[in-house]
Structure 1
Amino acid sequence: MAMMEKNLTGSTKEKQLVIDSDVHAYFDSIEELVPYCDESLQKRLNIGPFKKKAFNGKVVSSAEFRFPECRYINPLSVLRLDAFAPNGSIPGADPEFVAKDLLDRTNTQYAILNSANATMGAFHNVDVANGFNSAYNDWQYENWCEKDSRYKMSMLVSPLDPVAAVKEIERIGKKPGVVAVNLQTTSIPFGKRNLYPIYEIAQEYGLPMLVHPDSEQSGENSPSQAVGPASTYMEWHTCLGLMAQRNIASLVCEGVFERFPKLKFVFAEYGMGWLPGLMWRLDKNWKALRDEVPWLKNRPSEYIRSNVRLATQPIEEPFRPKDLLEVIQMAGAEDMLLYSSDYPHWDGDEADRVFSTLPKELKHKIFYENALNTYDFNR
């Protein structure tokens, strides 16, 4: 779908309608969650009237709550320095400004919100993680989804507590602004059977699972690089796709998509250039080793094309632009790719610049149609 707009010469041109599958909603301070937390959780998060007091300029208690933190920090800032709101909010923290700066400017019909400064998917204390997730979900729904119907959210759950995750999905999973379930980590194999209750209710509610890089190598997270930790942010960021590959193989080989055929898994911010090789290797090994996985009725690549979706940012940028099209065609991924801006992060992909060399029909699929077929916006 496209709309017409006039350019500077007075002539009209088509402007692509956009669904953005990765927009980050920040809060300026964790204190914003106080109205959504009971007294017990406020104490454990060290917020509100229960915040530890300072004595002579120092915090009295060393038990102050801290989010699990990634070891790798962008030396230039992970946030776009041109996206601060006029009211002084950090980039991504003012829903009204984000609507003007991103949604209006890029003709975005829907934006899927992913948590930004809230990383609890592998936090070691699952009670705190579960309480925080519920508070954050309520905060995001009230302050974003109810303020502008273009905002849709991926709700947070903890994969370390599937029972609590199911209860949280039952609590808010049918709200009209909730369109996905965010597991917040990729450092555990997603094919494991203890996660099946989450998948069962997500399929029942029509909610795709969504995963995104967060605090790898923190909390209960294992290293994101199987051969050991990276030395630099550049190395860590480049190798994020390894986690997506490992988990797609887990989902396929463990038979998750055979058991839950309507379940979609969205991998956001892992790239896609590695996809053909992963498909080829899985298909080749399945031919010889299918006795190990008798539950797989189809080739692994068929499950991947049917049930896996990849948010495009940060899209690979080959020296020859036409090579990107060939990679997409080699993987048969025309229906798998979902445009994402990653606003307001440093390596975001602008809708009016990315995919400029791709055929018009394929661009329409990536920018709009594929997301429309992945998320239920009419909940």
Structure 2
Amino acid sequence: MTTNTTPTTTTTGTRAEATTEATAEERYTVISADCHAGADLLDYKPYLESRHHDAFDAWAATYVNPHEDLLADTADRNWNSARRLAELEADGIVAEVVFPNTIPPFFPSASLMAPPPTGTEFELRWAGLRAHNRWLADFCAEAPGRRAGVAQILLNDVELAVREVRRTKEAGLTGGIMLPGTPPGSGLPELHSAAYDPLWAVCDELQVPVNHHGGSASPPLGDEPAARAVFMVETTWFSHRALWHLIFGGAFRRHPGLRLVLTEQGSGWIPGVLDMLDYYHGRLVAAASRTGTTAESRFGAGLAATMDDTPAAVWRDHCYVGASFMRPHEVPLRHRIGLDKIMWGSDYPHDEGTHPYTREALRLAYADLPPDETAALLATNAAHVYGFDLAHLAPIAARVGPTITELTHPLDKIPPAATSPAFAPGGSVRVW
């Protein structure tokens, strides 16, 4: 939390703790751990290597953008830095973790949802993602200390990915990397494969968070109405898979500083899934250790050597959740998930995001929480994971952040124009 007084600051590691004299109404520092941005299509050209310019011109001349929100009058929220800062501040948000949104060069759609490239597509797709990363570094530099940009990579060539992690870290992107999915049929090794160890090693070495965003691992299902409905049902599950792949694959044991962030996938599922993973871990390790051979012992062979700890313990030591537009029914699970593991996100500028009703969404979810817990969910945890300096953000929060009194006042009416799942039926709305 910050107040509109001048804070004094102590810093431990990457976490800055701001303490203040409570001489005025205290305000929360709010960091959104899930926002999206990208350049307008033609503005990516200067960020491409010159040898790709002719190919870019030919591609851009015939490209038809499939995303309505990127053709609307509000599309410039993705790249208009001044507008973006103003709208986030109006929502009480002072800093953001920036995931991609617009169409990178040579992609058929936004990269988050695009299928992994084939061998012939790889070179140009890779050039397009590197152009986005260069653009993003400049975009983040327009608001120093307020944007943690998430770099994009592809998994087709792990050595190239490792080099891009190093380059983007040096370029000032502090949001880590966005881990692509390996959906069924992609032809890529599964995420539990040791083939990715060089990638985990460099992220451990450089303290680069590995982010896996919802929607990025689903297989193609077609365009029928049923396919779209099935996608909505299944997409978060396919994104969750990265958790058990990395856990059972032993990535965290081999790379003890590795951190995984699962973003915009909900959070209420986590306790139950950890219980399930612990169950299978215990069952398979026990079966493998018994004298004699059983059918089940084959499934647990080598698992104890691969993993030092239970899945729940791995979660506790290595994993976080970007809890975009956290809903009221998820909040009572916060201690089972881990209060220090949850980072709230607004999902700006998406329609399902909380803008421009972020304050109302926070009141709906967090009105009953102690202020220190709310402060952890809104800022302290994200500052720890992504390296935000809370002392740097404090004067901005003192000007625009929501007050403690405001967020502890229960919401009595859902804004009629709100489109975020934060306000979906099932949340508790109480009359004050």
Distance 1:258 1:80, change over 3 A: farther
The 1:282/1:230 distance shift into structure 2, 3 A limit, reads farther
Structure 2 unmatched runs, 5+ = 6-22, 104-110, 289-299, 390-432
2: CA distance between counterparts of 1:235 and 1:310?
A: 24
Change (3 A) 1:3 1:177: farther
1:79 CA drift (Å) = 7.4
1:83-124 Cα offsets, whole Å, 9 max, x none, are: 82xxxx53323111001111x224434211111024167222
Partner deviation per Cα, 1:175-209 (whole Å, 9 max, x = no partner): 33433111243637422221111111111111101
Q: Distance in 1 between matches of 2:71 and 2:90?
A: 16
Larger radius of gyration: 2
1:202 corresponds in structure 2 to 203
Q: Are 2:137 and 2:171, in contact at CA under 8 Å, matched by a contact in 1?
A: no
**What letter matches 2:3 in structure 1?**
M
Amino-acid identity (%): 19
Output the amino acid matched with 1:24.
H
CA distance in 1, matches of 2:200, 2:358: 32
Alpha-carbon distance in 2 for matches of 1:359, 1:79 = 39
Q: Distance in 2 between matches of 1:80 and 1:16?
A: 35
Residue 14 (1) aligns with residue 19 (2): no
| Aligned counterpart, 1:321 | none
Residue type matched to 1:268 in 2? T
Identify the residue that residue 262 of structure 1 maps to in structure 2.
257
Paired residue total? 333
Instruction: Name which of structure 1's ranges 357-366 and 129-138 shifts more when overlaid on structure 2.
Output: 357-366
Q: 1:243 aligns with which of 221, 238, 241?
A: 238
Which amino acid letter does the alignment assign opposite residue 205 of structure 2?
E
> 2:77 matched to 1:91?
yes
- 1:216–1:223 contact (8 Å) kept in structure 2: no
Could you tell me whether the CA contact under 8 Å between 1:212 and 1:268 is conserved in 2? yes
Q: Which amino acid aligns with 1:203?
A: D
1:23 maps to amino acid: C
TM-score with structure 2 length normalisation? 0.69
CA contact (8 A) 2:77 2:83 kept: no
Q: Could you say what secondary structure the match of 1:111 adopts?
A: strand
Aligned residues of 1:112 and 1:152 also touching (Cα < 8 A): yes
Pick from 349, 352, 356 the counterpart of residue 366 of structure 2. Answer: 356
User: Does residue 328 of the first structure (1) align with residue 338 of the second (2)?
Assistant: no
- Secondary structure, in 3 states, of the residue corresponding to 1:13? coil
The farther-off stretch of 308-317 and 149-158 is: 308-317
Check the 8 A contact 1:79/1:91 in 2, yes or no.
Answer: no
Q: Distance in 1 between matches of 2:70 and 2:43?
A: 20
* Moved >4 Å (runs of 4+): 50-53, 64-67, 77-81, 214-217, 232-235
Stretches of structure 1 lacking an aligned partner (at least 5 in a row): 6-10, 54-63, 319-323
Matched, 1:182 2:178: yes
Q: In structure 2, give the amino acid aligned to 1:172.
A: T
Further displaced range: 107-116 or 272-281: 107-116
Structure 2 matches for 1:142-153, cutoff 5 A?
Answer: 142=138, 144-149=139-144, 150-153=146-149
2:47 is the counterpart of 1:42 = no
Per the alignment, residue 312 of structure 2 pairs with 301
Equivalent positions of 1:302-317 (< 5 A) are 302-317=313-328
User: Separation in 1 of the partners of 2:91 and 2:179?
Assistant: 28
Cα distance change, pair 230–239 in 1 and its aligned pair in 2 (3 A): farther
TM-score (ref. length: structure 1): 0.78
User: What is the distance in 1 between the residues matched to 2:152 and 2:337?
Assistant: 31
Matches within 5 A, 1:41-120: 41-44=52-55, 46-47=56-57, 50=58, 84=74, 89-102=75-88, 104-118=89-103, 119=111
Report the Cα offset of residue 234 of structure 1: 5.1
Cα shift readout 1:336-369 (whole Å, capped 9, x = no counterpart): 1111111011111354222323332221111111
Contact 1:180-1:210 within 8 A present in 2 as well? yes
- After superposition, the Cα gap between the structure-2 partners of 1:80 and 1:326, relative to the gap in structure 1 and judged at 3 Å, is farther
Separation in structure 1 between the aligned mates of residue 182 and residue 254 of structure 2, nearest angstrom: 21
What's 1:2 paired with? Answer: 2
Which structure is richer in relative contact order (CA contacts within 8 A, separation 6 or more)? 2
User: 1:230·1:236 contact (CA, 8 Å) conserved in 2?
Assistant: no
